[in-house]
Amino acid sequence: MAALFRGCRNFYKRSHKHVELTLVSCRSMASKTPVGFIGLGNMGTPMARNLLKHGYPVIATDVFPESCKEIQDSGAQILDCPAEVADKADRIITMLPSSPNVIEVYTGPNGILKKIKKGTLLIDSSTIDPAVSKEMAVAAEKMGAVFMDAPVSGGVGAASLAKLTFMVGGVEEEFNAAQELLTCMGANVVYCGQVGSGQAAKICNNMLLAIGMIGTAETMNLGIRLGLDPKLLAEILNMSSGRCWSSDKYNPVPGVMEGVPSANNYQGGFGTKLMAKDLGFAQSTATSTRTPIPLGSLAHQIYRIMCAHGYSNKDFSSVFQFLQEEGYTDKTSQ
């Protein structure tokens, strides 16, 4: 059906007669077909739920069967492996933790490409090495399918509210077909260029996010040590030139804001180990392009150290807690 929709767009280029009616008909027909979704973690589950809310039948799977229950209760059909999903759906979205997971899900013994249909549209919203996205695109093309990378920004809260930002890389002619699904899950869907460019944009965004979060955590910690009330300090920052997303929307200090991980012992949100992974991509791509990233490199080291000190599964804003505890340790040792 994805191939049918793309065929309709080609028809538009050949003839203007009855174009609007034809495109509406094709979109309606395509929308009635199931959408595959693979990867039902903290991000994948609310994303898949939003597809269901928009009337798309969802066929899903996850390596952990217990992760499937919530979306199954919402009306999704659960299958045993990615290959079975590919056999039933010609539009598939993947949301996975890392490059090795993506490689396994697409090319493994029970992977998508084992039973993929020609014309299938594959949208990977994982944050992975851009080189892996390019490899998957080549592998998909050999099977007559189309692969696009579409990593996201916004976190679990934005995923639940369908307010994610998608950064899309791939063949431009396929962007509208991808956008139809992505707009059900996000507020912004931006075409970035060829395959891998979505990942490049995401890596740059997350490097800035990490640097900004560390700066916010350092600032808040210093202000508290100087006797300032954290809520007052946050209010001052957010009406001054130091204001940023980490201070205004995702403050890392417990008790300053409601509905953020710092208000819940840093549970949920975007894990420290995932931030360390993304900063590793920034480091490797900076090395290959001979780009100086002194603050990005330091942020990478800080998040790696945090992982080694038990923060791996806490939200990345727990860098405030890490810095606070490190300061007390230093004081005690003096």
Separation CA 280–CA 245 (nearest Å): 22
Is 115 an annotated catalytic residue?
no
Closest among 209, 108, 112 to 151, alpha carbons compared: 209
Q: How far apart are CA 53 and CA 37, in angstroms?
A: 14
Which secondary structure element, helix H or strand E, spans residue 73, and what is its range?
helix 69-73
Exposure b/e, 102-112, CB count within 10 A at least 16 = b: bbbbbeeeebb
Which of 114, 202, 277, 314 is the catalytic position? 202
DSSP alpha helix (H) spans, 81-121: 82-88, 99-107
Distance (Å, whole) CA 64 – CA 126: 17
Please, what is the angle between helix 197-225 and helix 230-238, to 10°? 130
Active site members: 202
